[in-house]
Amino acid sequence: MNHLFTPFTLKSMTLRNRIVMAPMCMYSSDQTGFVKPFHMTHYETRAMGGTALVILEATAVEARGRISAEDLGIWSDTHVEGLKQLTEVIHRHGAKAGIQLAHAGRKCGVPSEDMIAPSPVWFEEAEPSYRLPREMNIDDIQTVVEAFKQAARRALEAGFDFIELHGAHGYLINAYLSPLTNFRNDQYADGTLLLEEILNAVHSVLPSHLPVGLRISAEDYAEGGNLPEHLAEKINRVMKKMPEGQGIDLINVSSGGVVPSRINVFDGYQTRHAEIIGQLTHIPVMSGGRIKTAEMADEIIRNNRAELVFLGRQLLIDPYFPLHAAVTLKQEIDYAPVAYERWKTGR
C-alpha cells in the first residue's frame, strides 16, 4: 500500500516522497522579475527539509502577466541565469524543481501594464487595485501562446524537472475556462481552445520525458460557475486532441478565485475535488488545502484519494514538515544534510 513516503514517478521525474511545495506568490522580486537572495534561501530551505518537489511561485510569462510588480519573471532570456541558480540549490538537496508558468490576465496588479482578458469583465469593481480589462483580440492570444512557449523553453534551459501551467484562481487560462468570465462569441468562447494551444506550444519546445502539469480551480463557488465535473469534462476534451505522450501529466487541484465569493474553508476542504477530478480524468492528481498534519497527508495517499499532496502555508511555518512527518509516521528516511542526521537520535 502506498503511503506518504512512497516514491512516485511521473515520466522521467521520480519523487522521493509524496510531499509537494505548492506555488505561493512571495512578492519578493522587483520590477525586473529577477531572482533575489530571498528566493535562494526560501526554496533551498524547503528542499533541505525533505520536500520532494519544490514548485516555484507564479512566474510571469509576460510583464503584463504579473500578479504584482514584485513577481518573479520568465519573460526574458535574462531571467534564466537566476532561475538556474535556484534549480541547482533545490537539486543539491535531493528535491526536484518545478516552476509555475503564469499569466494574471484581468488580475494583473501592475497599474502601468495593459490588462487583458477573454472578456471585458471586472474582477472586483469596488477594489481599486483592479481595472476593467481589455478583451483580447486574436493577435493578443497568439502573443500569449508564444509567451508560454518561450517561457517553457527558458524553464528547460534553467534545469526545471516539472512545468506547471497556472489555470486556476481567476488568472488568464482560468478566465477562459470559466463561464463566469468568458463571454466571447468566437472560437475561444470554448475556453479549452486556449489551453489546447498553450499545451501544444509548450510541448513543442520540451522533451517528451519532461512532465507538464496544470493547476485548476475545480470550483468557482458561484452560481453558474464551474464544478469539478465541468473541469474534468473540459480536460478530457483537451486530452483527446493531444498527441500521444503529450497533454497534461498531473493536475494540481485548487479552487476559487475566479470571482469574489465566500468559501467554506476547512482542513482538507479541496481533497474531495481532487478525488472527483482524478476519477473522471484518469490523470494523477495533487491535493491540498489546509493539510496541516502528517496523519492527514498520509491518509490521502493511503486511501488513493490523490497521488500527491501539496502544502502551502504549513511549509511556510514549518519548512521541515517532511522530517517531522517521518518521525510522526515512524518512517525511516535519509534526507537532509548528514549533520542533520542527529535528529533521529533525539539528542
Tell me the pLDDT tens digit for each residue of 47-57: 999 999 999 99
Cell numbers at 299, concatenated: 491518509
Please report the pLDDT score of residue 347 as a whole number: 52
User: Which parts of 49-205 are beta strand (E)?
Assistant: 53-60, 96-102, 116-117, 134-135, 162-167
In percent, the amount of the chain with pLDDT more than 90 equals 90
Hey, how many other C-beta atoms are within 10 angstroms of the C-beta on 126? 7
CA atoms within 13 Å, Cβ hemisphere of 96: 22
Segment 258-308, tens digit of pLDDT: 999 999 999 999 999 999 999 999 999 999 999 999 999 999 999 999 999
Does some domain include residue 216?
yes
Segment 163-221, tens digit of pLDDT: 999 999 999 999 999 999 999 999 999 899 999 999 999 999 999 999 999 999 999 99
Mean pLDDT, residues 139-154 taken together: 98
| Chain mean pLDDT for the chain | 95
Answer whether 332's CB lies under 8 Å from 326's CB. Answer: yes
Domain that includes residue 41, residue range: 8-345
Domain count across the chain: 1
- Residue 346: pLDDT band by 50, 70, 90 thresholds? low
Look at residues 150, 145, 39 and name the one whose alpha carbon lies nearest to residue 97: 39
Q: What's the CATH number where 41 sits? A: 3.20.20.70
How many angstroms separate the CA atoms of 53 and 13, rounded?
10
Mean pLDDT, residues 33-40 taken together: 98
In percent, the amount of the chain with pLDDT more than 70 equals 97
CA atoms within 13 Å, Cβ hemisphere of 146: 7
Q: Where are the alpha helices (DSSP H) in 105-259?
A: 138-157, 172-177, 192-203, 228-241
Segment 321-345, tens digit of pLDDT: 999 999 999 998 887 777 877 777 6
Does some domain include residue 82?
yes
- DSSP H or E run through 271: helix 271-281
Reported pTM: 0.97
Segment 96-133, tens digit of pLDDT: 999 999 999 999 999 999 999 999 998 986 676 688 99
Beta strands 116-117 and 250-254 are unpaired
Does some domain include residue 76?
yes
Does some domain include residue 178?
yes
| Residue 80 predicted with pLDDT over 80 | yes
Please report the pLDDT score of residue 340 as a whole number: 78
Does some domain include residue 2?
no
Look at residues 82, 6, 68, 74 and name the one whose alpha carbon lies nearest to residue 31: 68
Checking 313-319 for CB contacts under 8 A at 24+ apart, the result is: 313/24, 315/21, 315/22, 315/46, 315/49, 315/51, 316/24, 319/45, 319/46, 319/48, 319/49
Beta strands 19-21 and 96-102 are unpaired
Look at residues 3, 16, 20 and name the one whose alpha carbon lies nearest to residue 312: 20
Mean pLDDT, residues 13-21 taken together: 98
For the packed helices 228-241 and 192-203, what is the interaxial angle rounded to 10 degrees? 50
Does some domain include residue 3?
no
Cα 113 to Cα 38, 108, 164, 183: the distances in Å are 25, 8, 24, 23
Segment 171-185, tens digit of pLDDT: 999 999 999 999 999
